[in-house]
Amino acid sequence: MKILLVDDHYLIGKSLELTLNKYESVTDFKHLIDPSLTLETVKKYQPSIVLMDIHMGEYNGIELAEQVIANFSSKIIFLSGFNLVEYHEQAQAIGAYGFFSKNLPIDQLITQLEKVHFDNVFVFPKENEQERLYRSLSPREKEILQLLAQGVKQTAIADELAISDRTVRNHIYTINEKLETTSALTSVIKAIELGIVRVKLQ
């Protein structure tokens, strides 16, 4: 396997380089720290697998991966510290072959990479409680949860979404039922813990 890692963290790249090069199935490993050179590097290096981070400063790994898939035959696998359900879905939607957490043990990582390369299979995490709950929520419920997580008051949510206060309360009641919680606050806390919603750090 020729593996190209696109990740703007030097230490992660160096660690993977030292580790993966010990395996016979890895014939070559290259770390690209500058995402702006992704397409140019894929064209020149022609890797069999591109390991792509998602958050790289101003660059969005999912958008870069779409361009790689549209122009080259390299297989895309996401390697991210943000193990969110929505990222799994976006990765599958664009035709990626897998999604791994950066916390995945190295022996499991190499096994999954070999499955993709040699067996041409897709390797996404099995559905867990996080994904089950995520899929149970409607788009509107996810939207309201995200706004609540950002500290937006219920009356302001009603105004922003052009719905009544009562409708917002009904949505929150349904959210609580689905997440098995007792209040808007506990629903938000559980949603954050499960990665259903994101909180931007200031």
d(CA 15, CA 187): 38
- Express each pLDDT in 11-68 by its tens digit: 999 999 999 989 999 999 999 999 999 999 999 999 999 999 998 988 999 999 999 9
Say if residue 78's pLDDT is above 80.
yes
Q: Which CATH class is domain 129-194?
A: mainly alpha
- Express each pLDDT in 91-105 by its tens digit: 989 999 999 888 888
- Express each pLDDT in 127-165 by its tens digit: 566 667 777 889 999 999 999 999 999 999 999 999 999
What's the pLDDT at 133? Answer: 79
Q: Which CATH class is domain 2-119?
A: alpha beta
Evaluate if pTM is beyond 0.75. no
d(CA 108, CA 100): 10
Alpha carbons within 13 A on the beta-carbon side of 165:
4
Phi, psi of 171, deg, nearest 5: -65, -45
Report the alpha-carbon angle 134-103-198, nearest 5.
Answer: 35
Confidence class for position 202, pLDDT limits 50, 70, 90: very low
Alpha carbons within 13 A on the beta-carbon side of 60:
7
> Mapping DSSP to helix (H, G, I), strand (E, B) and coil, where does residue 10 land?
helix
What's the pLDDT at 29? Answer: 95
d(CA 71, CA 180): 45
Say if residue 201's pLDDT is above 60.
no
Asked whether the beta carbons of 68 and 96 are under 8 A apart, the reply is: no
Say if residue 125's pLDDT is above 80.
no
The boundaries of every CATH 1.10.10.10 domain in the chain are: 129-194
Find tokens 């160096």 and name the residue.
14
Say if residue 199's pLDDT is above 70.
no
Asked whether the beta carbons of 160 and 147 are under 8 A apart, the reply is: yes
Confidence class for position 186, pLDDT limits 50, 70, 90: very high
The boundaries of every CATH 3.40.50.2300 domain in the chain are: 2-119
Report the alpha-carbon angle 27-29-31, nearest 5.
Answer: 170
What's the pLDDT at 132? Answer: 75
d(CA 21, CA 53): 20
Asked whether the beta carbons of 125 and 168 are under 8 A apart, the reply is: no
What's the pLDDT at 155? Answer: 94
The sign of the torsion formed by the CA atoms of 147, 83, 103, 129 equals positive
